[in-house]
Amino acid sequence: MRLPPGQYLTEDFPVLTAGPTLRVPTDTWEFVIITEAGEKHRWDWKQLMALPSERPTVDLHCVTKWSKLRTDWQGVSLDVLLDGVDTAADYAMVHSYGGYTTNLPYEDLRNGQAWIAYKFDGEDLTPEHGGPARLLVPHLYLWKSAKWVRGITLTDEDSPGFWESAGYHDYGDPWREQRYQGD
């Protein structure tokens, strides 16, 4: 059984967003990592496309209870992006176009656990699902996989992002059913 507690299976790919869908053009798109020392690392769309990519097949678990198994993505591993970044940060705040934020521990971005994903099922990722590029951290509830991602700020201290400030769990492990603060 590969379903975490309280989840049910869906074949659809539901859309859950707090506001309107953003349309971010790739010609002005950029992705920026800022370290705790303020050092900036920047990639534009062409540079991202030129990096080696992976094709992870992963299960998705949404805090609203649905799970979708064996989804097919393509994107750049955060290991590739972070390898040249000098940091000893413990936490990361992920930022999206439109202002969405979500927090997670730095180590959850490393060791083949996270990607900047730009293709789903072999097709360009649609805006509804976070295209042109979204974070993909499938071992955490899906709100951590920020749509329309534009950057990551590395920090020494943890602070809550958008949903985390609204009562959702700081870490969000589906297997421990960490949906809300205190779970």
Partner 1 sequence: MARAAVPGGLSPRLVWRAARLVEFRDETPSARTLVFDVPDWPGHLPGQHVDVRLTADDGYSTQRSYSIATPADGSRVVLTVQLVEDGEVSPYLTETLSVGDVIELRGPVGGWFVWRSADPAPVLLIGGGSGIVPLMAMIRARRAAGSKALFRLIYSARTPEDRYYADELRTRVRDDFGLDVSYVYTRKTPEGWPLPPRRLGVADVNNGGWPPDFQPACFVCGPTGFVEAVADILIALGHDARRVKTERFGPSGT
Least Å distance, CB 25 to partner 1, is 15
Pairing assessment for the beta strands 149-155 and 91-96 based on DSSP bridges: antiparallel
| 71: β partners | 58
Least Å distance, CB 151 to partner 1, is 19
* Nearest residue (CB) to partner 1, 15 versus 32: 15
Report the C-alpha gap between 117 and 80 in whole angstroms: 13
Burial of residue 158 (CB within 10 Å: 0-12, 13-18, 19+) is middle
Least Å distance, CB 98 to partner 1, is 7
* Nearest residue (CB) to partner 1, 111 versus 165: 165
By CB under 8 A, name the binding residues for partner 1: 5-6, 8, 10-12, 14-22, 62, 64-66, 98-99, 128, 162-163, 165-167, 177, 179-183
* Nearest residue (CB) to partner 1, 144 versus 179: 179
Largest CA distance in the chain: 44
Report the C-alpha gap between 77 and 122 in whole angstroms: 17
* Nearest residue (CB) to partner 1, 48 versus 94: 94
Q: Hey, what are 100's tokens? A: 């969405």
Least Å distance, CB 4 to partner 1, is 11
Q: How far is CA 162 from CA 58, 68, 93, 96, 173, in A?
A: 24, 24, 10, 11, 17
* Nearest residue (CB) to partner 1, 20 versus 84: 20
H helical segments located in 7-82: 45-50, 78-82
Least Å distance, CB 65 to partner 1, is 5
* Nearest residue (CB) to partner 1, 20 versus 25: 20
Least Å distance, CB 181 to partner 1, is 7
